[in-house]
Amino acid sequence: MDTNIALRFENERAYVTLDRPDKHNGLTVDMISGLISSAKTVARRREVRAVVLSGNGPSFSSGLDIAAASSDPLAIMRNFVPLPWRGTNAFQEACWAWRRLPVPVIAAVHGRCYGGGLQLALAADVRFAHPGAEFSVMEAKHGLVPDMTGAATLSRLVGLDKALMLTMTADTVDAAYAARIGLVTEVVTDPVAEAEKLADRIAARPPHAVAAAKRLFEKSWQASPRRTFAVERATQLPLIVRKAVSNMTAI
User: Given a cut of 90, is residue 34 above it in pLDDT?
Assistant: yes
Please tell me whether residues 178 and 246 are part of one structural domain.
Answer: no
Q: Do 195 and 122 sit in the same domain of this protein?
A: yes
Q: Which three-class secondary structure state does DSSP give residue 127?
A: strand
Are 115 and 148 contained in the same domain?
A: yes
Percent helix, strand and coil across the chain, each to the nearest 5:
55, 15, 30
pLDDT given for residue 239 in this prediction? 83
Number of domains in the chain: 2
Q: Would you place residue 1 in the very low, low, confident or very high pLDDT band (cuts 50, 70, 90)?
A: low
* Pick from 72-76, 121-125, 166-170: least confident: 72-76
Among residues 203, 221, 236, the one where a domain terminates is: 203
Local structure of 199: helix, strand or coil: helix
Which pairing describes strands 5-10 and 13-18: parallel, antiparallel, or unpaired?
antiparallel
Are residues 158 and 88 part of one domain? yes
Q: How far apart are CA 192 and CA 50, in angstroms?
A: 13
Q: Indicate if 196 and 213 belong to the same structural domain.
A: no
2-35 CB burial, b ≥16 within 10 A, e <16: ebbbebeeeeebbbbbbbbeebbbbbbbbbbbbb
Query: Do 219 and 154 have their domain in common?
Result: no
Task: Specify whether 171 is located in the same domain as 239.
Answer: no
- 145 and 213 belong to one structural domain: no
Burial 178-204 (b: 16+ CB within 10 A, else e): bbebebbbebbeebbebbbebbeebbe
Question: 198 is in which domain, residue-wise?
Answer: 5-203
Is 198 in the same domain as 211?
no
Which CATH number covers residue 151?
3.90.226.10
Give the tens place of pLDDT for each residue, 216-241: 998 888 888 788 888 888 888 888 88
Do 40 and 130 fall within a single domain?
yes
Residues 195 and 220 in one domain: no
Model confidence at 52: pLDDT above 70: yes
Both 137 and 224 in a single domain?
Answer: no
Quickly state the pLDDT bin for 251 (edges 50, 70, 90).
low
